[in-house]
Amino acid sequence: MRACAARLTLAIDRNEASKALSQISVMKYVGGVFRPGSEFATPPAELVKLPGFGKDINAARAEAKQLLKEAGVPEGFSFVLKNRNVKEPYEVSGVYVVDQWRKIGLNVTHMPLEGGPYFNDLRQEISTRASISTARFMDEPDLYLLKYLSSRSSAVNYARYNDATLDELYERQSRMLDLKERFADLSGKWKGAPSASKLINSRCSGGSGLCRTAAGSRAGKSARATT
């Protein structure tokens, strides 16, 4: 099922999520890995090119269904989305994505858990699908990208892959002092890394990678995004 994450992300209408969830929660903006509005944020013109971020949700869901069929996932396939039992932003976004996946014929059970069991399942790799939130106190790529480092280097890489190229790129951008050069490096060279799709497509390394919330603060202000 882990190989189907890219297919499932196509089914999520992030633009509708931004409109609907902003009325009942702190979830507001559609964004990529970095906080929308920050100097490292993915430009809207680039964001819409990513799987699951386009404007035609009907076409995206049709593609998701076809890809799932090709992957051997039957209609009505059942799985569990494990989530933290915290309303903001976990439960709100969890309920939304479960509804989205049902629209492509999947039978998904939403399972909110206390923090202890939730993180234990992630660390023990008991969970195959989990909702993960990224909240950082500043717009610093080193903080946002930590979970994408190889598992041998990052305790919060719950996908447990190892990628020496990605690690090297992380160290490279971390040493850059010029913000423009750093942004160009993050926007360009990261896309060529073997595991970069985990980052470029704004997926969680914990397994779900399908709807993640990103939060950051700058100048005393904070914003949350559906990604």
The label of the residue with tokens 């439960």 reads 91
In DSSP terms, 82 is beta-bridged to 111, 130
| Average confidence score pLDDT of the chain | 78
| Residue 65 neighbours by CB under 8 Å, 6+ apart | 104, 105
Is pLDDT above 60 for 26? yes
User: Rg of the chain over CA atoms, in angstroms?
Assistant: 17
Q: What percent of the chain has pLDDT over 70?
A: 75
89's tokens = 């932003």
Query: Is residue 79 over pLDDT 80?
Result: yes
Tell me if residue 185 falls in helix, strand or coil. helix
Encoded tokens for 73? 């996932």
Using the predicted structure, report yes or no on whether residue 125 has a pLDDT greater than 80.
no
- Domain spans of the chain? 2-74+135-226
Sheet (strand 221-226) strand order: 29-30, 221-226, 213-218, 133-135
For residue 127, what is the enclosing H or E element?
Answer: none
- The residue with greater pLDDT, 22 or 222, is 22
- Segment 113-142 shows an average pLDDT of 76
Does 155 or 194 have the greater pLDDT score? 155
Q: Tell me the CATH number for domain 2-74+135-226.
A: 3.10.105
pLDDT digits (tens, 9 = 90+) for 40-70: 888 889 888 888 899 999 999 999 999 999 9
Check residue 81 and give left, alpha or beta (phi > 0: left; psi -120 to 50: alpha). Answer: beta
Residue given tokens 């995004």 in the structure block: 225
From residue 126, give the alpha-carbon distance in Å to each of 82, 93, 160, 161: 10, 21, 13, 16
pLDDT value at position 1?
Answer: 47
CA dist 195 and 175 (Å) reads 21
Looking at residue 213, its pLDDT comes to: 37
With residue 182 as reference, give the H or E element that holds it: helix 179-188
Q: Is the pLDDT of residue 132 over 70?
A: no
Paired sense of beta strands 213-218 and 221-226, if any? antiparallel
Contacts of 193 (CB under 8 A, 6+ apart): 163, 165, 166, 169, 199
